[in-house]
Each structure stands twice: as C-alpha cells, then as structure tokens.
Structure 1
Amino acid sequence: SLRLSKTSYFPRLYRAAFLVGGKRLFYITSPLAMVRPAHLMCPFQSVSCCFVPGCGATMTSPSGVIVSPGHPNTYPHGANCTWFISVAPGNLIRLTFDSFNLEYHSNCNFDYVEDGGYENSPLIGRWCGTSRPPVLVSHSNRFWVRFRTDSSVTRRGFTAHWDGCGGSMTSASGGFSSPGYPLPYHPNAECYWSIRTSPGSKLLLSFSDFHLETSSSCNFDYLAVYDGDSSSATQLAQLCGSQPPSPIGSSSNQLYVKLRTDSSVSAGGFLAKPQDGSRTCVCVSDCSGIRIENQHRGELESLNFPNEYPHNSLCSWTVLASSGNNISYSFSAFELEGSPGYCPQDYVKVRSTTSSAFTLVFRSDGSVTRLGFQMIALSFCLSTLGICPVCSSAGCGGELHGPAGFFNSPGYPDKYPENRECVWYIRTAASSSITITIYEFDVEFHPNCNYDVLEVFGGPDLQAPQLAKLCTTTSNPMQISSTGNTVTVRFTSDVYISGRGFNASWAEVPGGTTSLKTADKELFLSIHSPSYPSNYPHNVDCSWVISVDPSHRVLFNFSDLDIEFHSNCTWDYVAVYDGPSMSSPPLARICGTTLPPAITSTSNTIYVRFRSDSTRNHRGFRKFTRYTSSQKTLSGVQTGMKMCSQRRTG
C-alpha cells in the first residue's frame, strides 16, 4: 500500500473512498505529475491507501484493487481494459467485487466484465447490471479481468479487490501460510490448499506457528483439514486458537486444507509444512521379515524409539532400491548395551549382498535396555552419463527446478507399473520458457488416449492449457515448448498392458517461445512478444520459423496487439513472410492496436519477425497459428529457429 501526506497534490477528480471488508479504502486512479507514488504518505490510521491503474495493468502483488476508469463517476464510452493478475506460484487468486453498477443486457453484450485464468482458456463468467458477481477463485496463480463498454449508456462501474492464497502443492514444495503472514490475515478470506505426495505414500502436516481467532467451536476463523482431495472428504480437524496443533496425518497421499475467516477479529495466522509421512508401522510382537522396496528415503528405528527398546527383541528389515539405484545409510542415533567391538548382548547387524539391497537385524537380550537406534537410508543413482542419470528415478512425479534436468516413467527402461498416476511440476527462471524433449516413448495405444497417456500442461497445474496429449509409440525425439516458466506433466497408466514408458528432459529457454497442442486433426501454436503481457524491451529483434506438414497451410490470428504505431510501421512492428526467411514474399507488416484480419500462407512454412526501436515500448502481441488436415493425422512439426537479440544503439 502507498500512503498519502497532507502536502501531496492530486486532482480531486481522481480520488474516492469505498469499503473493502469493512475497512475504508482510499485510492488514486490517475498517474500524478506532481507526486511520485513511492513518496505518497497517509496519516489516516483507519484508511488503506493504494495507487490503482485506471484502465488495465499487469499486477504481481499478493493483494490489490481493481477499479473501473472514472469511478465513482461514470465510466467512459468505448473502454477496453484488461487487468492481468499474477501471484506467487502455488497460490490461487480470490477476486471479490465490492460494488457493481453496469448497463444491463440479457446477454451482457453492451457493457460487461468477464474473467478467466488465461486469455485462451474458457471464460469463468461474464457479468453486467447491478447484481454483484460471486466471489471468484482462480484455478492457478494467474487471473485476468476484462472490462468493455459500448458507445451508449454509462454507469458508475465497479470496484473489486483480490487476495492470493491457497493452491496446489506437493510434500516437496515447502511450507505454506495464511495470506500476508506474519501480518494479520484478511477478513472474509477463503483459501484452499490441495497437497499431494507420491502414490502409496502418506502426508504429515505440522505447524510451527498458529494464531487464529479463538472460539469454543472454531466457527469464526478456522483452518479445516480433510483426509482427501476436497472438502467432501473426512474432516480430520477444525482448528483455531493460539496453540500450534499436533501434527496431522493422512490415510492416503492427499490432504485438503481450508482457511475461512469472518469479517471481525483478525490474528497473526499460521505457518504449516507438509512432509512425506509414510513409514512402515509394525506391532512389537511382529517386527521380523519386514521388506521395504522402491523408496527414495526411509527411516528404520528400534522398537519404541526414542524410548528404551523392550527385552528379548529380534527384528529384521530388508531394504531394496529400484533397478539401477544404490543405497547409502547412516545412523542418526545409536545407543545399545555393550561396548565398541564387543556386542554379546544387544546389537545391530547389517548384511549387504549387493549395493542396491541390505538386511538389518536387531537383537536385544533380557537384561539392560537403552534408547536404541535410528537409521536413515537413501536411494541414489548408480551411474551417470555427463549430467544425465543412466538409472531411473525410484519415485513417481515431484517438483523439478533449475535450468535443465531429466525425468522418466517409473521403472524406465523396464516396463512401468500398472494403475499409476505421476505428476511432475517443472519450474525454471522467471521470464523464461521451457522446452521438453521426449527421447523414447512406448505406451499402450488408444486412438483417444484413454488407456495410458502422457499429458503436458502449459502452466503450474493441471488446469492450465493442455499443450500435448501423447499415446503413440515412437523412437524419434519429440519436443514440446511452453510460453511461460512453469509446466505440469502427468503420466497415467491403467490396469492392463504396460510398455517401456518414456525418457525425457527439460531445458530453460530465455524469453517467450512457441507452445503447441496436438490433436487428431489439428495443430495450434501460440507466440508472443518478449515479456508479454508486460511491455516488450527496447531494441529487440526476434524471429520465428514455423513449419507444418507438407501440403498444408498456416493460418495466423492475432488475439492481442499493442505495438507503437507508425503509418508505415517502421518503428516497432511484426512482419510475416510467406516462406522460411525474410527473402520470402511478405504477407503483412503490422503495428498499432487494431487487430488485423487472419493471415494465411501459401506454403507450409512462415517466417515471423518482431522488431522494436529505442524509444517507446508497449504491451506487444500474442497470436495463434492453426492448420488443419482432413485426411491425415499430424506426423511432424517444427517450431524451431526462434531467436531473440537486443541490438546496440549509438
């Protein structure tokens, strides 16, 4: 928030106050010539002050305000405003309309507000009239709001605010907290977290800090934990107060957490951390012959640890790593009767026949007991080829970070297991995109991919636009590229036929690249200017070559265009050529803000070039490419030769 001082100057036309969650909010909707926003001060203790863009913006703060232009006066004719909201990965966005007054039409064709997760994803809804829209919750960490008006009736418009909270995460994601933590959470908040770990494992949710409004039945502000993937699952706890709760364990590989707050008292919130809580639990009378297979990490403990073990115990554990992996182990605690080198009474014996398996035996006699032991065992890759692991990962899914890496189906190069679902969440540096290369692909075939399938989504979760859906065996490398720095990959197998699976890598690519979606008869591509939807940089020179199957043509449609205007488009522009290079016949040279008609090539290859000069920069462009085949399925696509450089000036 920004604060206002008594000496700050701003036009009276652009200031107003309204209520958000029972709190008076003061905002400014016009850029100020006399005062920099960073220097604004606010002496009012009961008032929150912030600078609000008048007509569209890209916003990345964890909370904020959206106001129609001119509010609380009437909005202008012919407005076309789009707000792009992005919060931290793993969070969701909750949008609440505080006031709403637009021209009414039964289909909302005159003046309206519409919302969605991505510009090319299905609309969440379109609203007009005087009834406030419902509270909207995004499916990912991105959200957009568009406001359009016609040339006739105008009204006061709307005010809305958003908070970023909740989301999908795994046990490897780290902790999560209430919105604004360690500051007090917001009133009237509702956040949801869906937490997963690998299939076959369980979750343990622990709290390091906890302060929610206290009530006898936790009906005011509370945190509810459910044993499954939604609030319809069995509720494990409904929590409030100021004491950190005891750890909460799941019975499966999923937990669902809901935070709900009312409009009155706020407190400091909470900080929680999910962990992989899977372990083998055995009765004291039955601790022999235990077999543990294909785990990344595990702990073996003497009975009753960290309390004293019982007399006359005889326990054995056999631990096996997955194919191609070794096992390392170490003791984090050890206290048994006896002395080093002489263990006639109580002892631990480790036998290892191979580097990927060992058996541990623990025996105690009938006399002295001690605290016992705790062993930590880790599975790691047997060998590598450069930075490429030769063996397979023992797990199934997970979070992958960094500029490059490798992942594969469970058990690869052996056959993958039946009835398995694995989800990988891949993230690279901000302002980059991701290219996934699949080197080998062998799964059970179905014409609609209903049996075993690999899916790629262009975003942080499974609600993002689908880039690929694959179920056809091939030994030729395939590449799939995203437009942003997050990709989600899901591999699913049924209970019948299994293949070798797949072996894949990911690589970080600077700037925006193309994304593709394959279907039975069509192919869709999307390209955009660097940093879109933020302003593109100065002195950029980017080019794309897009090739489709022979005997097909390429159809171009712009979905957004905002490039510095010149009558001959000589400053900043997009140029499209009917062939593989700039020497091919030109199809169009485009600038300004007016969307051009569709552009169609005469061959199967086009060349696209985007240039900017050293003066003004704008939002840029986004466009979609399509080609259709009425006779054959797609066999090959090249979206390569995308290059960007920044030219020197002077």
Structure 2
Amino acid sequence: MLTSQRLEGGKRVICTARCSRSRPMKGCGRTLSAYRGTIKSPGFPNPYPPALTEDDQVCQWMISLPYGHGIKVYLYDYDFNFEPNDVTTVYDELQIFRDIGCSEANRERTFVGNFSSTSLIHLPSHWACIKFIRRTLQNLQHTGFSLSYEVIDANGDCGVNKTTRLFSDEGYIFSPGYSLSSYPQDLECTWLVESQPGSTIDVTFLDFQLSYTYSCDFAADYVQIGNSNTSYAFKYCDSDSPQPFQTRDNRLWVSFKSGQWRHRGFWLYYKGSGDSVDSDRPSSDYWRSGSAQYGWSRGEDSGGTAFVGWSRDPNKMDSVKRSTGASIHPSSRLVLTQVITAVTTLLAIRN
C-alpha cells in the first residue's frame, strides 16, 4: 500500500493511498461524441505512471454517437506492464466494450502484454467504452497504448415489404436486434447498398449464427447476398462461415428471412473499393434519392442535363460533366455511329 506525507495545521500527517488527495491525470477518461478521435494512455508515448489510489486504477473513455452509426477502432502497437508475485501475475490491461456502460456481457476485446502491429476492432453499436486498468505498482518502461476511432454507417432496420436503401461507401448491416437480443420471428428484410459509380463492394461477415437446419434448401432462417435481388449469388444458414464476397459493380443486395425460431443473428461489414469512373449514363434507378443533387437533373438554362457527381454530402458536390439538349457527347456520338453501321450492314445482308 502506498504512503505519503502532508502538513495539516502545522502537523505532519502520514496517510495511506486511500486518503491521498491525488486525482486521475488529465485526459484519463472522458466522454467523446466526435465522429473520429484519438485516445492515449496517460503520458503516452512515455511510460505511463502507476495508479496512486484504487480509484485511479481505471481510466474509462465513453464514446456516444447518434443512432445509425457503428465504430471502427484502430489500436496501434501497445505495451502494458505486468508484475509476477508469489501467487499469480498482475497485469495491466485494455478492455474494449460495445456499450457505454462497460458491461462484461458486451466486452469485445481484451489486450495485455505487448504487440507491435495494428489491430482493427469492429463495433456494431453507436456506443463504445474503452477501459484501461493499471494494477501494477510501478512502471519504468512500458508506454501504454494509442488508438483512434472513426464512425461508419450501421443499419439493422427491416422495412416491411420494402427495401432499405443505403447510399454508403462503408458500413455494417446486421439482423434486427443484434447484438443486444435475438432476431424476431417471421422477418423478411432486404437491404440495397449503393457505393460510388465505378466501384465494387467487398463484404466480410463478422458474426453469423442462425437457427439450426439440416439443409439450406429447407432452411426457414437464411441470408442471401449478391449483385441482384432476382438471382442471389450465395445463400447461408445455420452456423455457416460465409466467405468474403466482392460484387461485380457498385450494388450489393442482402436478404434476410426468419421463421419460427430465433438466434443471435448476423453481422457483416461492407466497403467500396476501386476508383470512381466518370459515366454518362448512371444506372436507371441509382440516383432516385429525392434530390436533384444526386445525378441527372434538368438544366436551368438550356433544358439539357447535368451530371453533378456522387457525394454523401450534398454540400460538397463536384461538377463532372455538363451537356445541353442541343449537343451530343462524343461517347454517345461513337455509340450512335456504331449502331447505324450495324443496322446498315444487317439490312444489306437481308437484301
């Protein structure tokens, strides 16, 4: 037990750690609501100080964001102290939770010792709790940790007889209720993700556990993914381990159906990849977002059309191409020439 001395009324008082007036170091725990941020152990990159009191042992950061978001945490190389004794070994450790209350049921990862590579931790919740516990009594060389977090889209909504459309480059999709409860019965959910034109979408399942079945052909609970909602590429059920999937274009369809049984559900991560490609013809239904800022809109001066590009922020739209009704774009002129040539050749053959 630590001891210290101080003067009170001209008298020297010896007190234990329990009566110390020390306080946690500045920055050792707080609430964050920014969409990205950095969290570091006290003193980083220098060795972190040991706790002076039992109350100082735990540094706790809470991340609170609006509904509809998930969190990605990047933990860079870390170095935590440990002290062996006659009975066991005492460890300092970092804990990451998927809720704001640091409840054990929602602990996602625990880190002890040291590691020299970056770890990526996915959290499907718009809340997170980061807890750093200093149990050792002294530390002369261990530097602690540094991590950053960023917010991405997250959706577990299930529209009744309609498709939930997500205009997003990166995010999570999970079954309704995940990860707090089992998914409800008799669901039919469909999501359509649309990323930037010219890109593809990479899909990784982070968790998958549906009700038991002896064959996916007869499964009441299943997930389907693909490039089209008329012919899905893959169907998963039971406790399958879905492999990573990449779409052919910028559209991803996800379908989930449940029957009379309930289980934990599924959770997937998607991310658009590849460079955006300028296009004169976006797919016919891509830009129906209720705003003329997304895609083709009527020209204000000549009655033509203007392709203003893709952006999740309508205030940051970049003009890409502009054409009027009185002119034909060179690429369209080339296609028209090829069509006329093909038709002329076909007529000549038939005659």
Using the size of structure 2 for normalisation, the TM-score is 0.42
Q: Which has the higher helix share?
A: 2
Bigger relative CO (Cα 8 Å, ≥ 6 apart): 2
Q: Which has the higher strand share?
A: 1
